[in-house]
Structure 1
Amino acid sequence: MDSWSLFILVFCKCFQWTAAQDGEIRWTYTGLAGQSEWGEHFPDCGGSSQSPVDVVTSLTKYDPTLTPVTPLGYSQHNHQPFTLLNSGHTVMVTLPEWMGLGGLPWLFSAVQLHLHWGSGGPSHGGSEHAIDGASSEAEVHIVHYNSELFPNISAAMRQKNGLAVLGILVEAGDETNPGFNNIIRYLSRIRHAEQKVLIPGFDVSSLLPQDLERYYRYNGSLTTPPCYQDVLWTVFHEKVKISKAQLFKLETILYSSKSEEMDRMLLQNNFRFTQPLNHRVIYKSFSADRGKELSSGEVTAIVVGVICGCVGLAVVVRFITKTIRFFTLLHHEREVVDSSTSSWDLLHSQRSAPAPRENSVGKSNSKKQVNSRPEPEKREEVVLSPQTEP
C-alpha cells in the first residue's frame, strides 16, 4: 500500500470517528472537525451574521431605547436542584423555564447556562467575545428562548428573534467568587464527557455583573454548531471576577473525552474565534455625552457624596454665621461700655493738653513782677507830685 492510499484510509477512519451514529458530525474546536471546518458540515456557520465578535467601542452606536436588562426569577430557585452536565464541549447547567429575562422586546424564558475558557491561566484569553481586541479569561452564556412567540427552544432556535443570550466576560483576580463556586465545587463529579450530576439550586443572578444597565447589543448566532443566526446578543460592559484558583480548576479538571476512552483529552480552549461583523451595527445602552456612562453604583456613590457635601457645607455656613454673630455682639458690648463711661473721663478726654511747666525760678520772677506793679492810684500820685514843687 502506497503512502497516498494510507492517507486516504486514515482520513476515512478519522471522519468515521467524528461522525456519530445518527449521522451528525462530532465537531471539535481543533483538528479535522475543528471550527475552521464547521462551515462545511453546518452551513449557517459560514453565514454573514456569526458570533462571537470583537466589540470596537469607537464604532458602536448609542441607542436610547435600550432599557436595563431585568432577570426574572433568577434568585427564586425554590430549592429545586439543577442538573450539571459535561457535554464534552463545555460545562452546562440546565435552568427551569420559569426563569426568564425582561427588558427585551419579548419575554424570554431561560434554558441553560454554560462557560467558555482557555488553558493558559490569567492574561491568556479564553472568552469568546472581545472588547477593543482584548479577550478575558472566560465567558458565561445564559441562553433563553422567545416564549411569547414559540412553544419551546427547538421551535425557536431556527426562527428570527427566537433566542436571546447574555454574555458575561470573566477575568481572574485574587478574591473567590461565591456565585461561581456553586458550579466549580462540583466539577470533580463530572470530569468526563456526558457525565452529569444534580447540584443544589442557587441564585443565578450571582453570576451577573452588578451593572445591568451598560451593555452592547447586536444580532448574531450561536457560537457552536449548528450556528443558527437567530440570536439577540447582550454582552455586558462590566466584567465579573473569579479567583485564579477557580480559573485553574475550571481549566484543568474536566475532560472532553468519555470515561471509557483510553486517550483522555483535557477540556480546554473551548472558545470560538471572533467573526467578521459584515456591516452589522453594535448598539450600546449608554452614552458618556448624555451622562449614561455612570452605573447605578456610581450614581449612588455620587448621590451620597453630594448629600455629605451639602451637610458639610451647612455645618461650615452655620459655623461662619455663629462666628459673625459672636463678633457682632462683642463689638456691640464694647460700644455700650464706651457709652457708659463717667463724665470726668469725657471731660478729661476733651480738655486741651496742659501747658509745659516752667522752672521754679521763672515762676518766682513772674510773681515778683506781677506784685511789683503799682496800683493805678499810686501811679497818679507819682505823676502829680512834680506839679506841687515850687
Structure 2
Amino acid sequence: MLDFMDNVQNAFYEASHWNIDNSYGALNATARALLDFQTPRGLKLQISSLSAPNFATSYTLGNVGVVDGSVSYLYSSLPLRREFKSSELDLHHAIRGYRHFQELRRPDEDWWWEVWHSGKRIDRRDTLLYGRIFLPQSTLEALYLRRLSPTRQLKISAVSDSSLNNGGTILALLQNDVGKYSTEYMYSTDSALMGVRGLYNFGMDPRVELTAPVTAQEIAEPVHGRFSAGAELYYGLLNKSGGISTGLRFTTLPNHTGFPYTMTLTLNPLMGNLSSTYAVKAGSNLALCSRFDFNFYSYESELQLGCELWRRRRDTDLEWAVKKLRADWKRPTVSPDDDVSGVLKARVDQDWRIGVLWEGRIKELLFTLGASLDLKRREQIFRGIGIELQYSS
C-alpha cells in the first residue's frame, strides 16, 4: 500500500495536470505493481493527517529488529482537495494495482497559468516541499518539486546519511512532457552520474487540433491502443562506467471493448538482459501478469507469475448501502469502483518463492498483511511475515 506521503504527492501531480505514466521510467509500471510489491515484516504503525489543503504530517513506528520510526512533513503551494481520510479515501488511490492508461491529454497553454492583478502578473509556479527524518538513525531525506511550466517540472531529492559516501547524495531530475513524447535529464552527485531518457508515443498528437472533417471510417474505427517506445542512457564520470536500455510498450485504451491488457519488452544490451511482461485485466475484479527475464551472456532465465483479486462489498452490507445512498444524493452517478473493500495479491517464481499480500480497510484503519515463503526451504518456509496499519485524518 502506498505511503500516505506518496499518496499526497500523487494528488499534487493530478492537481497540477502532470501525467506520471507518460515517462520511460513508468514503462513497466503495470508489471511492477502486480509482481514487485513489498511484503511487510514485523509491525508498522502510521498516523497521518492533512491538517490543511496545503500541509500534511505523518508519523511512523516500526519494530523490525529494533524499534524505529520516522517523522515527515509536506507542504504544497497548490491546495489538494482529494479525500485522504482513511475511512473515506478511494482504495485505488492508496493501492498499486493494474494501471488503466488513459488517452493522452493536451498540455495546458502557458497563458492559462497567468494570473494578473492591477496590470501586474502575480502568479507563482506550484511547488511541493517534503522532508523526513528517520529515528534513531538520524537519516534525513528531502524532496523539492517545482512545476516550471505546463510541460516541465524540476525534481530534486536528497538523502543525508553518514553511512553513504560524502555523507549523502543529491539527485536532480528535469522532466519534460508534451503528451506526444517526454524527456528526462538526470544528474546525481553519486559518482557524478549523468543520464537522459525519453519516451515517444505513436499515433495521434494531442497537441494538434482536428480541424479537417472526420470521415465515417475514422469514426467507425477509433484507436483502441497506444504503442510507445523509449530508451535511456547514463554515464558515471567518476567510475567511468555507463549503461543503456531501450523498451517498447503496447497498452489498450479505455475505448477498447475487450479485456484491457499491457505488453512490454525491454532490453539492456550491455548487460545482456531481456525482459518481457504481459498483464491483463481478466475481469472487473481480477488481473493477471507474467514476466520472463533472459540473459544472453549467461543463458539464465527467470519466470514470475502474479495476480490480484479485488474484493467488493456485498449489497447486504448496511453500512456500505447507507454510504452509497449518501453518494447518490450528492452526485448523479457512482463509480463502479467505489464499493471495493480490499485486494489480495500473490506472486510466484520458478524457484517456488511466493509472496502473498492482503490490503484493505477495517472501519477507519487501512491495513496491509503479507508474508513471503520459500517452499524449497523445508526447515524454514516462512521468510517473513508482517502487518502495517495506517490511520489518516
* TM-score, structure 2 as length reference: 0.21
User: Does 1 or 2 have the higher relative contact order (CA < 8 Å, sep 6+)?
Assistant: 1
- Select the structure that is richer in helix: 1
| Structure with greater Cα Rg | 1
Q: Name the one with the larger strand percent.
A: 2
State the TM-score, normalized to the length of structure 1: 0.21
